[in-house]
Amino acid sequence: MIETGRYLIGVAGASGFGSKSTADEVTENCDLRSTTAIITGATSGIGAETARVLAKRGARLVFPARNVKAAEEAKGRIVSEFPEAEIVVMELDLSSISSVRSFVAGFESLHLPLNLLINNAGRLAHEHAISEDGIEMTFATNYLGHFLLTNLLLKKMIQTAEETGVQGRIVNVTSGIHGWFSGDLIEYLRQISQPKCQFDATRAYALSKLANVLHTKELSSRLQKIGANVTVNCVHPGVVKTRLTRDREGLLTDLVFFLTSKLLKTVPQAAATTCYVATNPRLMNVSGKYFTDCNETTPSGLGSNSSEASKLWAASEILVTQHSKTGFDPLS
């Protein structure tokens, strides 16, 4: 009850910010003119606000997007507000392993540095679907595509940090819903990656968000072991009605959001934690952590499990290299 009260009135935590802080406010003193950032899902919602604020602070931005037209429109809105903004739009379908590889090859051909990677894109699908690589679509888009994207960009990020002396940062956008998942991650993914299965859209989404948390934990450990000057953290942006719910629009969705309206954040407030973790100098050398309302907190028990993180990483490496479109089998 006390925590709910603190949330509702926006009491600031140790960082000096809280649930009512906005992305503009948490980046007020940031100069990002030497920063190049890739932001997935920057065409609308939290991603678009994150991009707008980082551009305002001077960052060069790269927008990977499945819908290039929407990305160009998002770019246009930012440039109209900040004419000096430099934004590159590139095609990327996160649900496709081949598309991720093509995007990274295209990005590398630009010979740009890379200081910041924000894995923001996400989907909450009502209908069951399988990706072209044989993976359940929510998991493929929200987690596996970002897993591969991050791994393929790590060399560039480490190189940029070495050349500039500026620590690189990776931010994975997850959700508090990750705590709703229980059970065997790999086995459940195997089940829902079959053409015919009993599909629970909310549980599938929770699985993908738990995977984001575990990815953060394992990647942080691996980066520290090799002495890379790159950190990775994950954030829960809070509850906000964005295009994430586009496949679930209707009376029930609208009713739920109406009844919880006092708990909802505005989009600028929802983007604040991402921007804080991406830019605040207080977080130098902070890695492998989970943030909400611009303050470090604790993920679920399963999300804190190092063994589960290692297991998921091993399965993910197999999934992005097996090139099988006949179905899910991480142990083949």
Q: What amino acid positions are annotated as catalytic residues?
A: 205
End-to-end CA distance of the chain: 48
Identify any residues that bridge with 118 across adjacent strands, giving them in sequence order: 39, 171
Residues 183 and 194 sit within 8 Å (Cβ to Cβ):
no
| Angstrom distance (rounded) from CA 292 to CA 276 | 10
Q: What angle do CA 291, 292, 297 make, to 5 degrees?
A: 55
Q: What's the rounded Cα separation, in Å, for the pair 195 and 193?
A: 7
Kindly give the pairing relationship between strand 290-292 and strand 295-297: antiparallel
Give the E-state strand segments of the chain in sequence order: 36-39, 60-65, 87-91, 116-119, 168-173, 230-236, 290-292, 295-297
Q: Report the 3 state secondary structure along 84-118.
A: CCCEEEEECCCCCHHHHHHHHHHHHHCCCCCCEEE
Report helix, strand or coil for 314: helix
Cα separation, 174 vs 211, whole angstroms: 9
